[in-house]
Amino acid sequence: ATLTASVLNDQVSEFRVELVGPPADSIAVGVRCDADGTFHGFGEQYNATNQRGEAFQLLVNEQGNGRDGSLAPSVGNEHTTYFPMPYYVDARGFGALFDTARRVDVDLCLSDEEVAWFEVVSGAPVQWRVFHGPTALDVIRQLGDLVGRPTQPPSWAYRLWMAAQGGWANVLGEVSGLEDASIPVSAFWVQDWGGIRINPDGGFGVQYIWEPDEVLYPDFAGGVADLHEAGYKFLTYANPFIVDPATVSEEDEPPRFAPRFDSMDEMGLLVKNQMGETYVDFVAPNIPQGNAHPDFSNPETVEFISELLREVVDTYDVDGWMADFGEWIPVDSVHGDGSDAIERRNTFPIDWQLANRTALEGARPDGDWVMFARSGFTGVQEVAQIHWLGDQDTNWTVLDGLPTVVPAMLNLGLAGQPFVTHDIAGFGRGTGPSDRELFQRWTELGAFTPIMRTHDGADKVNNWRWNADEETTNHFRKFAYVHCALMDDFMRLASEAEQTGAPILRHLMLVFPNDRETWDISDQFLIGDSLLVAPVTEEGATSRSVYFPAGTWYDVWTGETVQGGQRSTVGAPIGSPPVYSLDQDREDLRNWESLTYGDCR
């Protein structure tokens, strides 16, 4: 093999390994495991931020459920993720990106305490970039200079979004109820606009189609216009599955699905199987319809899909949507240009989000649109807008539930994706519905997230809701206003993020790099440089341990101070999660009741 090294600029170096002799199945690169070295990142990891001592593969996948063994069968493992990335940041102020779309297997000082191994599963040349820093924030900026940065959403996105579904009567009932409760809402997102599907396991699913269900939502355009007139934005749902009408039950109206499938099939815009036939598979046992996959190796595919999606905006005047999925390209699929299926699986999220973005930018060149997606890989940053964390379970488990939210958001920030959101209060239904405590704690975390957004979840009938009782409604109202009070912070930090990549929600090591106590903290974060948030993610807890870096920290709920440079156990009753401001009191958060309903709409 030959190794070539070059200096791209004074901030980034490039290394390249090429095989000279016979082909190999993989090429491995070793990095010395210094005593103080860290390996933060690797995309959207849910377990922690520093992955030293772990070994896993980086391949776009569903996150999985029951990864701690709480479900039978469990799906996925600790490191399966929608958004993997062969990239890390060392807390000492440098980092590296393996510039490949191949699967990369990493062993971070686990099997060999002296060496961290990065194995690119292919005999093709391996290229990686080293970012010189000299700080971790500089590494994130240097990454963005190379792969691009997301575009910040419009200002209304930093106010509360509410899920609503079940037809116009239910949606309007939700609107009325929230107005009566004086809870300020910016946008409603209606996931089931295309119709409802009952799955074999008894759960509810949505129809995978990009047009309204005229039974649930008659005069869809008129209903959207009415909500606009009332001052609300309106969001829908899309995913890249192209449903084969031959697999659709009569009850679900196969003709609805035929035009899109037939057109793409005839135009050669769908991936094939090994027999040369259109690849139709069933992506999960609880989804009864067969789905084909767009072949983005054909440049016409992005254009075709973006035109169909643009018609949704042009026809119904919606303001954006959830761009779901993007992880399911079969590893044995055949693509029109002969490209490798593994590489296509990893790059599919980029093409899928490009198609969505092209549609929305074409219809709304003024930027008044939102797109929130869950899948990703290196390079998606340039076409992305908002990333949501996917399908957490409605529970407290450390690998599936509420505790996974903060590590995932921090890791996304390290990977150059600062615009994040998550489902209040989870999605999955495997371990039972959400309850009051989980809903309230998730709401508290949501208020300190740039995009605060609810989801009814898979068990929408039984999950706890904002109006389940008076206590919950009052609690939800408070944190809707607290979120509103943070809007100026979020918008200021969003502008900075768009320019430099600096995360809105920051790992403590980014702000206090010389304090080694911060390096392995994955359950606290900073909003910018000075607002410390330590969410409660343990069931039944009314206090928690918080690490305070150097400085004087003001409790935003009481004004009391704590001196930094220490770890303390602080009170954390429901309604007062630990939030502290550095060197100044934040009376605006404590005095959230001074905000008016109009201020926050």
Q: Report the C-alpha gap between 556 and 527 in whole angstroms.
A: 13
pLDDT of residue 392: 94
Overall pTM surpassing 0.85 (yes/no): yes
Tell the burial category of 329 from Cβ atoms under 10 Å away from its Cβ (0-12, 13-18, 19+): buried
Strand partners, 570: 544
Strand partners, 126: 17
Last residue of a domain, which of 129, 147, 165? Answer: 147
Confidence band (pLDDT; 50, 70, 90) for 458? confident
Return the structure tokens found at 158: 């930093």
Q: Report the C-alpha gap between 333 and 348 in whole angstroms.
A: 13
pLDDT of residue 71: 67
Domain that holds residue 536: 505-600
Residue 182 forms part of a structural domain: no
Helix (H, G, I), strand (E, B) or coil at 227: helix
pLDDT over threshold 80, residue 81:
yes
pLDDT tens readout for residues 322-374: 999 999 999 999 999 999 999 999 999 999 999 999 999 999 999 999 999 99
Return the structure tokens found at 209: 């189609």
Residue 7 forms part of a structural domain: yes
CB-hemisphere CA count at 13 Å for 43?
29
Instruction: Quote the radius of gyration of the chain (alpha carbons, Å).
Output: 24
Helix (H, G, I), strand (E, B) or coil at 228: helix
pLDDT of residue 306: 98
Last residue of a domain, which of 119, 147, 175? Answer: 147
3-state helix/strand/coil string of 403-456: HHHHHHHHHHHHCCCCCEEEEECCCECCCCCCCHHHHHHHHHHHHCCCEEEECC
pLDDT of residue 157: 99
pLDDT tens readout for residues 222-270: 999 999 999 999 999 999 999 999 999 999 999 999 999 999 999 999 9
pLDDT over threshold 90, residue 485:
yes
Query: What is the average pLDDT value for the chain, to the nearest integer?
Result: 96
Q: Can you tell me the mean pLDDT for 455-483?
A: 96
Residues contacting 369, CB < 8 A, separation 6+: 154, 313, 319, 320, 360, 361, 363
Look up tokens 């990009």; give the residue.
210
pLDDT of residue 428: 84
> Cis before residue 349, ω within 30 degrees of 0?
no
Q: Report the C-alpha gap between 575 and 588 in whole angstroms.
A: 16
Last residue of a domain, which of 125, 147, 169? Answer: 147
pLDDT of residue 24: 87
pLDDT of residue 124: 79
What CATH number should be reported for the domain holding residue 575?
A: 2.60.40.1180
3-state helix/strand/coil string of 139-169: HHHHHHHHHCCCCCCCHHHHCCEEECCCCHH
Is the distance from CB of 508 to CB of 549 less than 8 angstroms?
Answer: yes
pLDDT over threshold 90, residue 23:
no
Give percent of the chain with pLDDT exceeding 70.
99
Is the distance from CB of 304 to CB of 262 less than 8 angstroms?
Answer: no
pLDDT over threshold 90, residue 32:
yes
Lowest mean pLDDT among 43-57, 196-210, 328-342, 378-392: 196-210
pLDDT over threshold 70, residue 73:
no
Look up tokens 């959403």; give the residue.
153
Tell the burial category of 515 from Cβ atoms under 10 Å away from its Cβ (0-12, 13-18, 19+): middle
Q: Which residue has the higher pLDDT, 174 or 285?
A: 174
pLDDT of residue 72: 58
**CB count in 10 Å sphere of residue 305:** 26
Residue 519 forms part of a structural domain: yes
Return the structure tokens found at 331: 């590893």
DSSP-derived secondary structure letter, 270: B
Residue 322 forms part of a structural domain: no
Q: Which residue has the higher pLDDT, 19 or 274?
A: 274
pLDDT tens readout for residues 529-546: 999 999 999 999 999 999
Q: Report the C-alpha gap between 112 and 89 in whole angstroms.
A: 20
Structural domains in the chain (count): 2
What CATH number should be reported for the domain holding residue 72?
A: 2.60.40.1760
> Cis before residue 259, ω within 30 degrees of 0?
no
Q: What are the Cα distances from residue 433, in Å, to 14, 142, 462?
A: 49, 43, 6
Residue 76 forms part of a structural domain: yes
Lowest mean pLDDT among 96-105, 159-168, 422-431: 422-431
Confidence band (pLDDT; 50, 70, 90) for 376? very high
Is the distance from CB of 11 to CB of 135 less than 8 angstroms?
Answer: no
Residue 358 forms part of a structural domain: no
pLDDT tens readout for residues 397-414: 999 999 999 999 999 999
Give percent of the chain with pLDDT exceeding 90.
91
Q: What are the Cα distances from residue 529, in Å, to 85, 144, 152, 456, 532?
A: 26, 20, 19, 33, 8
Residue 107 forms part of a structural domain: yes
Residue 526 forms part of a structural domain: yes
pLDDT of residue 187: 99
> Cis before residue 359, ω within 30 degrees of 0?
no
Residues contacting 270, CB < 8 A, separation 6+: 242, 264, 278, 279, 292, 293, 294, 295
